[in-house]
């Protein structure tokens, strides 16, 4: 009987140890705003870097949609996420105490490009021309994208005084910025809106045929991408852990890792930085 009790106790300790090992893995995700190959290249390197700096196992968990990234964060399946402005606001509303901790230097003044198939005859200008809404179709990126949906919709409404569905015969949601470019370049959609950084990178990489698609207008700047951390990480990983994560990101100077984003550096961020995004989303009915 004593031996059976000891074996039971040992088994229980083993289960606790296994559970602790799982708990001690710091996991993070990111909104899938472009092709998967680029995401794995970017965030696999970040996981390796953070693991070295934090002294705990770190794992990047890919997701299929913006909504899935928010759900994983809400359910504590991940403790940190690389969000856009809108998705970060949505996630922090669902997880009280969570904090925006860092953003790319470029994310303090982000922008979107409005693009058009060259067959439309539209050319670059200082404002969206009247002829823009004479086109038959327009595609956003993801429904939850700041640079691919929220801000472009805001500026469409501001310029033309109507919702996108009233301005175009067909309005689509491509799912990510790379696909938006491809759809407009192919002529499947006459026009669209895209994250400027994805456009600039793909243009540099020779993936864009400028004889078929071009930028016709760029928006004013706004705050966008950032890292958001759950408010309970110190309780889970130890006092001061959130500060360690923040410091690791702010002090990331590996040029290869930063270039994959692409960002020149990460700088401190706070929830207050994204109040303009929350107000804009509320104003056009994307938040209650």
Q: Which range has the worst mean pLDDT, 7-21, 211-225, 235-249?
A: 7-21
pLDDT in tens, 227-258: 999 999 999 999 999 999 999 999 999 999 99
Q: Percent of the chain, pLDDT > 90?
A: 84
pLDDT in tens, 108-123: 999 999 999 999 999 9
* Residue from 81, 113, 93, 111 nearest 224 by CA: 111
Please count the other Cβ atoms lying within 10 Å of the Cβ belonging to residue 37: 8
User: How many domains does the chain fold into?
Assistant: 2
Range of the domain at 197: 111-218
In terms of pLDDT, which residue wins out, 268 or 40?
A: 268
- The radius of gyration of the chain from alpha carbons, rounded to an integer in Å, stands at 22
Q: Which range has the worst mean pLDDT, 20-24, 142-146, 203-207, 245-249?
A: 20-24
pLDDT at 89 over 80: yes
Residue 86 within a domain: yes
Handedness of CA 122, 131, 86, 218 (dihedral sign): positive
In this structure, are 271 and 133 located in the same domain?
no
Cβ contact 189:137 at 8 Å: yes
Q: What 3-state DSSP class applies to 198? A: helix
pLDDT at 12 over 60: no
At 82, give phi and psi (nearest 5°): -90, 105
Cβ contact 81:142 at 8 Å: no
In terms of pLDDT, which residue wins out, 283 or 80?
A: 80
Residue 8 within a domain: no
Q: Distance between CA atoms of 238 and 222, rounded to whole angstroms?
A: 35
In this structure, are 124 and 181 located in the same domain?
yes
Residue 43 within a domain: yes
CATH of the domain at 151: 3.40.190.10
Q: What is the band of 2 on the pLDDT scale with cuts at 50, 70, 90?
A: low
In this structure, are 125 and 185 located in the same domain?
yes
In this structure, are 79 and 116 located in the same domain?
no
Q: Distance between CA atoms of 288 and 115, rounded to whole angstroms?
A: 30
pLDDT of residue 34: 78
Q: What is the band of 197 on the pLDDT scale with cuts at 50, 70, 90?
A: very high
Cβ contact 198:38 at 8 Å: no
At 102, give phi and psi (nearest 5°): -160, 150
In terms of pLDDT, which residue wins out, 165 or 260?
A: 165
In this structure, are 98 and 230 located in the same domain?
yes
In this structure, are 153 and 181 located in the same domain?
yes
Cβ contact 79:72 at 8 Å: no
Total-model pTM = 0.83
CA–centroid distance for 77 within its chain: 17
In this structure, are 100 and 230 located in the same domain?
yes
Of 218, 253, 273, which residue sits at a domain end?
218
Cβ contact 40:62 at 8 Å: yes
Q: Distance between CA atoms of 215 and 218, rounded to whole angstroms?
A: 8
In this structure, are 63 and 126 located in the same domain?
no
């Amino acid at each position: 009987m004593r031996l059976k009790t000891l074996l039971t106790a040992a088994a229980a300790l083993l289960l606790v140890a296994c559970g602790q090992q799982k708990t001690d893995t710091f996991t993070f995700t990111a909104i899938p705003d472009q092709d998967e190959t680029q995401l794995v290249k970017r965030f696999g390197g970040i996981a390796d870097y953070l693991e070295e700096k934090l002294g705990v196992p770190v794992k990047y968990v890919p997701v299929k949609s913006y909504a899935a990234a928010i759900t994983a964060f809400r359910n504590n399946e991940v403790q940190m996420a690389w969000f856009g402005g809108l998705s970060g606001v949505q996630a922090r509303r669902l997880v009280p105490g969570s904090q925006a901790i860092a953003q790319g230097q470029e994310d303090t003044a982000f922008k979107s490009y409005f693009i058009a198939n060259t067959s439309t005859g539209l050319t670059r200008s200082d404002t969206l021309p009247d002829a823009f809404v004479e086109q038959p179709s327009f595609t956003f990126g993801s429904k939850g994208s700041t640079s691919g949906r929220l801000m472009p919709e805001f500026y469409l409404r501001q310029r033309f005084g109507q919702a996108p569905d009233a301005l175009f015969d067909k309005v689509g949601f491509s799912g990510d910025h790379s696909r938006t470019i491809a759809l407009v370049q192919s002529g499947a959609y006459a026009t669209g809106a895209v994250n400027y950084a994805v456009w600039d990178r793909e243009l540099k990489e020779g993936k864009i045929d400028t004889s078929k698609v071009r930028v016709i207008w760029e928006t004013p700047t706004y705050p966008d991408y950032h890292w958001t951390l759950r408010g309970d990480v110190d309780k889970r990983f130890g006092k001061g852990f959130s500060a360690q994560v923040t410091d690791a990101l702010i002090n990331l100077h590996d040029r290869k890792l930063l270039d994959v984003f692409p960002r020149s550096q990460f700088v401190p961020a706070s929830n207050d930085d994204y109040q303009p995004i929350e107000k804009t989303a509320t104003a056009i009915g994307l938040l209650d």
